[in-house]
Amino acid sequence: MQGPLIDTLVRQGVSRRTFLKYCATLASMMALPPTAGRAMAEAMAAARRPSVIWLPFQECTGCTESITRSHSPTLEGMIFDMISLDYQETLMAAAGHQAEDARLAAMKDNAGKYLLIVDGSIPLGLDGAYSCIGGRSNVDMLKEAAKGAAAVIAVGSCASFGGIPKANPNPTGAVSVSDIIKDKPIVNIPGCPPIPVVMTGVLAHYLTFGTLPELDDKGRPKAFFGETIHDRCYRRPFYDQGKFAKTFDDEGARNGWCLFELGCKGPVTHNACATVKWNGGTSWPVESGHGCLGCSEPDFWDAGGFYKALSVPADPLKIAAVAAVAGAAVGVGLSFANRSKKGAAKSAHETTTLADLEK
Partner 1 sequence: MSLDAIPIHVIPHHASPAAPGEPGLTGNAPPLLRELAEQVRRLLESGESSAIDLSALPLSPADLDWLREKLGSGEISVTLQASGESTLKETACPGIWWVTHHNEQGAVTAQFIEVAFVPELVKAHPQDVEIGREQLELLISDL
Residue type, 337: A
CA-closest candidate to residue 114, choices 69, 70, 49: 49
- In the bound state with partner 1, the residue whose beta carbon lies nearer, of 281 and 305, is 281
User: Segment near partner 1 (CB under 8 A), from 23-31, 100-108, 170-178, 335-343?
Assistant: 23-31
236 binds partner 1 (CB under 8 A): no
314 binds partner 1 (CB under 8 A): yes
- Report the interhelical angle of 16-29 vs 196-209 (nearest 10°): 110
* Contact call for residues 204 and 75 (beta carbons, < 8 A): no
162 binds partner 1 (CB under 8 A): no
By CB under 8 A, the residues from 90 to 149 that bind partner 1 are: none
Q: Which residues contact 115 (CB under 8 A, 6 or more apart)?
A: 50, 51, 52, 53, 83, 149, 150, 151, 152, 153, 203, 206
3-state secondary structure of 180: helix
11 binds partner 1 (CB under 8 A): no
CA-closest candidate to residue 343, choices 313, 317, 314, 305: 305
- In the bound state with partner 1, the residue whose beta carbon lies nearer, of 75 and 116, is 75
Quick one: which of 31, 43, 132, 133 contacts partner 1 (CB under 8 A)? 31
By CB under 8 A, the residues from 211 to 230 that bind partner 1 are: 218, 228, 230
Quick one: which of 169, 182, 315, 347 contacts partner 1 (CB under 8 A)? 315
* Contact call for residues 39 and 74 (beta carbons, < 8 A): no
Residue type, 239: Y
- In the bound state with partner 1, the residue whose beta carbon lies nearer, of 20 and 132, is 20
Using alpha carbons only, give the angle 191, 209, 153 rounded to the nearest 5 degrees.
30
Q: What are phi and psi of 353, to 5 degrees?
A: -85, 170
- In the bound state with partner 1, the residue whose beta carbon lies nearer, of 57 and 244, is 244
| Minimal distance, residue 302 CB to partner 1, in Å | 13
User: Segment near partner 1 (CB under 8 A), from 117-125, 129-137, 322-330, 335-343?
Assistant: 322-330
Contact residues for partner 1 (CB under 8 A)? 6, 10, 15-18, 20-22, 24-25, 27-29, 31, 33-35, 38, 71, 74-75, 218, 228, 230, 239-242, 267-268, 280-282, 297-298, 310, 312-315, 318-319, 321-322, 325-326, 354, 357-358
